[in-house]
Structure 1
């Protein structure tokens, strides 16, 4: 079963001669320009492991005859599974329509017509999304006539911690796509 939210855009290497900013045929399909990092995948795997334990306890509770309690456990397991999927989907997605930033609890979409500049800057960034900040790099989107959005990609996020080459490639891809769509 293909899981498109886990795969990066591998067709960029296949279409290296294509001068367009979005090197694939389906320009209206949302794609992530990088793969999810090991920290993000490990967190989602732990959540799915927790969900399996909750589902097993739901089965035991249901067999014991306490159906309302089993229903509550089933609802909790469903919430944990949805959280794990949302955690894996978190990140930056792009299409011919614009730039979409998916967070754990929300989504922000900026059409390419509103994007003024996309650049990589040195600044304090959050370490794995925690309150602690460290000096690092961030890709920042500056909308036309507005305040910059929060950093869309940082080198200390769950996708790029310990993988500077992957951050550089993702930052270049985001900047290249934005330059070609404006």
Structure 2
């Protein structure tokens, strides 16, 4: 399996980082692209440095590199996850404004009928945000905000992040044990 992982400048970059860690352990090929603000958020929100995050991916492209392989539909991938997905990136994807490689790769993922998952991060949501999400959902894009669940009795931030990442992995039928399933003992 080959996945594109986009990390954009919204709070919650830990979701994208954890996604890369888990996918690497699963042996999944990943192509990482981060926005400028994602890189800044990594420094503000985590103890990770950019090089260690990039080392988790199989390959990395600069967000301004519109000649990257992932900007073309002829580059075969199984899907893309944007974790987290800022409202700016959501808007760009919803309106076909491919001004960054994250938006372009997402647009290509849509046009090639491949799975696209957006872990949108914002609250409260405006009517504009909701309309952009509805527009994309009608195209088959999975809108998967990292909503905290409590039935698993999370005790740490890692428990909460693992649940969100696990929900994304479920979309690709990837086996994991990041959280207990409902009804499991």
TM-score of Structure 1 vs Structure 2, range by shorter chain: under 0.3
**Normalised TM-score (structure 2):** 0.23
Structure with higher Rg: it is: 1
